[in-house]
Structure 1
Amino acid sequence: MRAFLFSTEVPKPEKPTLESKFEQGLFASRWLMAPMYLGLVISLAMMVVIFVKELAYYAPQVLTMTADQGILSVLTLIDLSLAANLLLIVLFSGYENFVSKLDITSDDRPDWMGKVDFSGLKMKLIASIVAISGIHLLKVFMALGKGDPAYAVSESTLRWMVIIHLTFVTSGVLLALMDWLSAKTDKH
């Protein structure tokens, strides 16, 4: 009793039951995102199937490919793996940031897991989009004048592809600048 009289802690007032239940329900609503992350796992499996399909298409042709065709096929596979990496980053980081922490004690847990916040996720996302866009643009540039119908684009389409790629690059730079500026300012 005496310790309570001299305590500097002020007891918290009890919240009304309705408010408390509402806040618990609101907090539990984060689990509505879980099916979306399961959908991303299925999307990752779809990416694997597409990758294997592309690999099976290009592998038998390897002895008859020109250097340019070989580079284009490798760029296609790299493009798919970057998209899958992006999907994996969004899957793990999004789940850990918005739903629940992953309780994984494995030694092969990637170092970035549990450390990528929303800002880091945003930067990884835009960097991956820029890389994917750049690779696709490179594939189209390499195919120019080669008569490859898979990469035949009009001058107007090519112009728009460059404009869109530069928009992604500019967005990435501006997002990085905004993150840098917000890190320099005092937190409220």
Structure 2
Amino acid sequence: MSSIPRQIERAMEAAIFASRWILAPFYLGLALSLFVLLIKFMFELVHIAETAFTATESQVILGLLALVDLALTGSLVVIVIFSGYENFVSKIDHSRHRDWPEWMGTIDFTALKIKLLGSIVAISAIQLLKQFMTISTVSDRDLFWLVVIHVVFVVSSVLLALSDRISASTHTSVEPATPAPPSDRVAAKKHA
């Protein structure tokens, strides 16, 4: 009788463990969404190139900030794809890839959260900078809320990093100090 419940338990555990593969299409969809970002990036780049001789300096800077924003968003998506897949679905065999970035495979869920919030803060800062570049067309109310949202992202990132650091420090064990050899203790007593 006891073997049947154990078999049911093993079958349920195997099904739950296999359910992680349901996430794989999400990461594949995110990889495909990079093409959407690339299309938008190319559109913005062509637009900047077309208006480069007639645009003002601030318009060119705004265009470049839009390109940086899209590049940061693409990088953020790549970080989420690789670290999310490796943390939740399956490890990627990178031994066959000579140009495999060092950070891939080393980002755990905690580091992913911090990198994610860091990227969001950077994207928020770029959006805020874009609004400051066109400050004459932005209302004080809109600018106030953009600053508040940016500060909330920054504070959230700092608090998350601090809570993760505190959590990590409570999980590390402190090794007991090894006693000095008897000859060192005798030498220490002579100098005292």
Same fold (TM over 0.5): yes
Runs ≥4 in structure 1, deviation > 2 angstroms?
none
Specify the alignment match of 1:4 in structure 2: none
Between the two proteins, the alignment pairs up a number of residues equal to 170
Q: Within 1, Cα distance between the matches of 2:124 and 2:169?
A: 31
Q: Within 1, Cα distance between the matches of 2:171 and 2:101?
A: 31
Determine if the alignment matches structure 1 residue 102 to structure 2 residue 92: yes
Q: TM-score, normalised to structure 2's length?
A: 0.84
Secondary structure at the aligned position of 2:171 is classed as coil
The structure with more radius of gyration? 2
Structure with greater helix percent: 2
Q: Within 2, Cα distance between the matches of 1:43 and 1:159?
A: 32
Specify the alignment match of 2:64 in structure 1: 74
Q: TM-score, normalised to structure 1's length?
A: 0.86
> What amino acid maps onto 1:64 in structure 2?
T
Determine if the alignment matches structure 1 residue 63 to structure 2 residue 53: yes
Deviations 1:35-82 (A, max 9, x none): 111110121111111101111111111112222112111111000000
Q: Structure 1: any 5+ residue segments left out of the alignment?
A: 1-12, 146-151
Q: Structure 2: any 5+ residue segments left out of the alignment?
A: 174-192
Q: Within 2, Cα distance between the matches of 1:42 and 1:71?
A: 29
Matches within 5 A, 1:3-18: 16-18=6-8
- 2:142 alignment partner, one of 157, 162, 165: 157
Q: Within 2, Cα distance between the matches of 1:15 and 1:24?
A: 14
Closer/same/farther in 2, CA of residues 185 and 37 from structure 1, 3 Å limit = same
- Structure 1 residue 14: deviation in Å? 10
Determine if the alignment matches structure 1 residue 29 to structure 2 residue 19: yes
Q: Within 1, Cα distance between the matches of 2:4 and 2:125?
A: 56
Fraction of identical pairs, as percent: 50
Q: Within 2, Cα distance between the matches of 1:14 and 1:174?
A: 48
- Structure 1 residue 187: deviation in Å? 5.6
- 2:124 alignment partner, one of 123, 133, 140: 133
Specify the alignment match of 1:177 in structure 2: 162
Alpha-carbon RMSD: 1.7
